[in-house]
Amino acid sequence: MNGILIVDKPEGFTSFDVVAKLRGILREKKIGHCGTLDPSATGVMTLLLGAATRFNEILPDHSKAYTASLKTGIVTDTLDITGKVIRQSDAEVTFDEFREAALGFRGEITQIPPMYSAVSVGGKRLYELARQGIETERPERKVTVYSLEALPGIEKGEFSLKVECSSGTYIRTLVYDIGEKLGCGATLTSLRRTMANGFTLDNAQTLEQIEALAREGRAGELIIPLDKALAAYKEITVTAPQAVRFSNGGELDLNRISGASEPGLYRVYGPDGRFLGAGENSGGECLKVRKVYTG
């Protein structure tokens, strides 16, 4: 089974849990995901199956979108509501105050990854150190918040955010930083990923839906062709001999290929329309093989 599967991750599952569950449902060992979600979070997970797993690094769109709920006046060790409360404040925050603070985090910002995260420092996952009561310095990272909308909540001190951001952005950290700017602290209470890698909740299936179709032998109906996720790259078609050479890892003479004159990545197809993989024009005389698709 080769291609892309979009899952609506349930609450309480780690990203590894989802992958492990699907390996059993689909009888497919090679499954990888394109970005973790915290166990308490739900929503879009992009999974690559079979031969598609090798293409993760060249997916053109790694941006994500979320809907997040939060509460001001409280800070926890995990930066979300599942953690231990370490600080509280009685300060009242109006929606206008919250909105003004939140909108200041649009554009390129700097974040420090939370201790309870999968980031590795010195060969150790931060969450492993955190569970041992060890806090260590974490390198800052630059991320981009492409858009941010602040929304009022139902209860006093509760608010929501709609965020579209670059890969690697921690919404828990964003909420924490907004709380620090307000001077009263804030913690994430719920998180739902609504978009990842160009796919939305409209493309997503629950584990129950996938399992039901798998029992009927119809799980393949849910698989999205890999080249759909690579649609941002221009398409080129090569001859039958060139297709054989490319599939065997051989470079192709750019002078004998139509439509690949500009530097960059290309989706390569055989004369029969079969997707062969990704080739790269790096400014030389040949189209180099970046990834061969064996699906």
Residues 6+ apart with CB under 8 A from 16: none
Candidate from 45-49, 125-129, 143-147, 203-207 with smallest mean pLDDT: 125-129
Over residues 68-72, the mean pLDDT reads 98
- The CATH number assigned to the domain with range 64-196 reads 3.30.2350.10
- In CATH terms, are 3-59+200-227 and 64-196 the same topology? yes
In this model, does residue 58 exceed pLDDT 70?
yes
Environment class of 92 (CB within 10 Å of its CB; exposed 0-12, middle 13-18, buried 19+): exposed
Residues 6+ apart with CB under 8 A from 81: 40, 71, 187, 188, 189, 190
CB atoms within 10 A of CB 79: 25
pLDDT tens per residue across span 76-107: 999 999 999 999 999 999 999 999 999 999 99
Residue ranges of domains in the chain: 3-59+200-227, 64-196, 233-292
pLDDT tens per residue across span 222-250: 999 999 999 999 999 999 999 999 999 99
Report residue 122's pLDDT band, with 50, 70 and 90 as the boundaries. low
In this model, does residue 159 exceed pLDDT 70?
yes
**Third-level CATH fold of 3-59+200-227:** Pseudouridine synthase (3.30.2350)
Catalytic entry in 8, 38, 77, 80: 38
Share the mean pLDDT of the chain.
92
- Two tokens at 174? 């964003």
Report residue 62's pLDDT band, with 50, 70 and 90 as the boundaries. confident
Q: Is 38 a catalytic residue?
A: yes
Report residue 295's pLDDT band, with 50, 70 and 90 as the boundaries. confident
CB 192 within 8 A of CB 8: no
pLDDT score recorded for residue 5: 97
Report residue 154's pLDDT band, with 50, 70 and 90 as the boundaries. confident
Per the CATH hierarchy, to which homologous superfamily does domain 233-292 belong? PUA domain (2.30.130.10)
In this model, does residue 114 exceed pLDDT 90?
no
In this model, does residue 130 exceed pLDDT 90?
no
pLDDT score recorded for residue 132: 57
Q: Is 38 helix (H, G, I), strand (E, B) or coil?
A: coil
Report residue 212's pLDDT band, with 50, 70 and 90 as the boundaries. very high
- Two tokens at 165? 């951001």
pLDDT score recorded for residue 104: 97
Report residue 127's pLDDT band, with 50, 70 and 90 as the boundaries. low
Q: How far apart are CA 33 and CA 16, in angstroms?
A: 9
pLDDT tens per residue across span 249-282: 999 999 999 999 999 999 999 999 999 999 999 9
